[in-house]
Amino acid sequence: MTRWAAIGVCAMGVAFGQAAAPVPMPAQLGLPQAEQMLLERSLAVAASRGQLEAAQALRQIAGYKPNPTLQLGAEQFPVHSNMPGTVPRFFSSNLDAATEPTYTAQFIRLYERGGKREARVAQAEAQIDAAKAQILDSFRTQLWQLRQAFAAALLARENLKLAEAMDQEYQQTEDLTSIRVKSGDLAEMELYRVRTGRLPFKQAILDARTAYQQALRDVANLLNASAGGAEITGDFSNRPLRQSLEELVKTALDRRPDVTVARNNSRASDAGVRLAEAQRARDISVTFEYQQVGNDSALGVITQIPLFMYNNQKAGVAQAVSMRRVAEAQLRAAESQARTDVEKAYQAYLTARGATALYGADNLEQVQKLREAVAYSFKRGEASLFELLDAERTARQATIAYNQARASYQLSLWQLEAAIGQPLE
């Protein structure tokens, strides 16, 4: 089961991790493991899970029928008597008395009419579906943020490796220059130049290490964990995209979670209109009564019907209709946003694909061969230090651009998955 399917299972009732204190990340953290931790420990997803539980409770409440009422009464107890030495009567009858003890038991039941309960249930069920989709959408947005941070960490790691390798190679150049200066083949000024030229390599190491540590802490923050001494593992993907733009847009409109949320909210608003219209159907309250007056007993039935003299529920219907228009507009906005996100992600993919081809392995190999040739010529005294430094700079820039192109391509695929709310085929 994929992590995208696992989140759906959780939406149906599997418990999420509670908002606990951060825990250390594993020493070696790959993306699949990070996504699983996100599923288990994300505070945003846990908050959405709480909204689902609240919606499920409201669904249960909506299905209840009105509770009946039992009313008990006792009244008209004589507390004074014309006969000295007597006590108030509670259960005896006196035909000469003006009052008699009266006991009343009433069973009152309200009968809802107009389909109110059915409309409440339909509205609550749509809200549950919206809450489930909201969990998926929380995971979708959090997963995209995690992947962005993860890609930044991978890119910084690759640039750090490059900077360290280039610095080591440059150390060899510096050592060779020092030897040639001592042997008199080069002026001492050349040694100063080569040492000064090493500064950008040292700065690149510092920048890449800082970027890596910052991205690592962004990953830890999303996972509700502490970075500690964790290291990011994994590599960029170069898999091709097999779906067309039209297919991607259709998938987003059909299955993207935030569109599903808006669609279910629209359903709930439709049920809200039906519920508001049902309020215009008068509910009937029926009372079944048993009454004892003195020694006599009697049964009775009382019916109560509201008279809509002041509030005829028209305002409630108008409000519900307005809320339905709002929900419909929000649905159209969600669909438009999904379509726009897919188109933007697709354009990013096309650009990244072109950049990857431009800075492909073949072109990068040519740059490295040029650098090696210039370095060999410098060792033989056939190339100047300026030519070597220029070749070093060109090779470094080309490799950094290649790393960035690979990262952008991977991000474009992940951006497409976030835009459609599903894994790519």
What does 174-204 look like in DSSP terms, one character per residue? HHHHHHHHHHTSS-HHHHHHHHHHTHHHHHH
**Could you tell me which of 333, 353, 334, 357 has the C-alpha nearest to residue 345?**
353
Residue 95 lies in a domain: no
Strand duo 284-293 + 102-111: pairing: antiparallel
Statement: residue 395 has pLDDT above 80: yes
Of 28 and 87, the structure prediction assigns the larger pLDDT to: 28
Distances (CA, A) of 2 to 32, 133, 144: 10, 17, 16
Mean pLDDT, residues 292-321 taken together: 88
Report pLDDT digits (tens) over 194-229: 788 778 888 889 998 999 999 999 998 888 888 878
What integer pLDDT is reported at residue 14 of this predicted model?
A: 44
Q: What pLDDT is attached to residue 11?
A: 46
Q: Tell me the pLDDT tens digit for each residue of 54-81.
A: 777 877 887 888 899 999 998 877 766 5
- The mean pLDDT value for 90-109 works out to 76
Residue 24 lies in a domain: no
User: Residue 329: phi, psi to the nearest 5?
Assistant: -65, -40
* Residue-level pLDDT at 252: 95
Report how far residue 92's alpha carbon sits from residue 86's, in angstroms, rounded to the nearest whole number: 12
Q: Let me know how long the chain is.
A: 425
Higher-pLDDT residue of 101, 243: 243
Looking at residue 1, its pLDDT comes to 43
Question: What is the distance between the alpha carbons of residues 336 and 328, in angstroms, rounded to a whole number?
Answer: 12
pLDDT-based confidence at residue 372 (cuts at 50, 70, 90): confident
DSSP-assigned beta bridge partners for residue 301? 288
**Could you give the CA distance from residue 157 to residue 403 in angstroms, rounded to a whole number?**
10
Q: What is the pLDDT of residue 91?
A: 61
Higher-confidence residue of 365 and 249: namely: 249
- Residue 396 above 70 pLDDT? yes
185 vs 113, more confident? 113
C-alpha 220/C-alpha 214 separation (Å) is: 10
d(CA 407, CA 102): 87
Find all residues with CB under 8 Å of 290, minimum gap 6, and list them: 104, 105, 106, 297, 298, 299, 300
Out of 130-134, 224-228, 301-305, give the one with best mean pLDDT: 301-305
Token representation of residue 132? 């489930």
Instruction: Tell me how crowded residue 65 is: count the other CB atoms within 10 A of its CB.
Output: 10
pLDDT at 48 over 80: no
Question: Mean pLDDT throughout 334-345?
Answer: 96
Distance separating alpha carbons of residues 347 and 352, to the nearest angstrom: 9
CA angle 111, 114, 118 (to 5 degrees): 90
Q: What is the DSSP string of 230-286?
A: -EE------PPP-S-HHHHHHHHHHH-HHHHHHHHHHHHHHHHHHHHHHTTSPPEEE
- The pLDDT of residue 83 is above 90: no
- pLDDT value of position 87: 55
pTM, to two decimals = 0.77
Q: Is residue 280 part of a domain?
A: yes
The yes-or-no verdict on residue 153 having pLDDT over 80 is yes
pLDDT at position 106 is: 93
Residue 357 has what pLDDT? 85
When pLDDT is cut at 50, 70 and 90, the band that residue 90 belongs to is low
How many Å apart are CA 123 and CA 269, to the nearest integer? 7
Q: Is 239 a domain residue?
A: yes
Quick check: is 260 in a domain?
Answer: yes
**Least confident piece of the model among 11-20, 92-101, 137-146, 167-176:** 11-20
- Mean pLDDT over the full length of the chain: 84
In the chain, the number of structural domains is 1
pLDDT at 15: 44
284: helix, strand or coil = strand
Would 133 be classed as within a structural domain?
yes
Flag whether 356 is in a domain: yes
CB-based contacts of 407, cutoff 8 Å, min separation 6? 151, 152, 154, 155, 158, 236
CATH of residue 269: 1.20.1600.10
Residues spanned by the domain of 108: 33-78+100-420
Residue pair 368/120 in contact by the 8 Å Cβ criterion: no
Q: Judge whether 14 lies within some domain.
A: no
Please compute the mean of the pLDDT values over residues 276-298 and round it to a whole number. 89
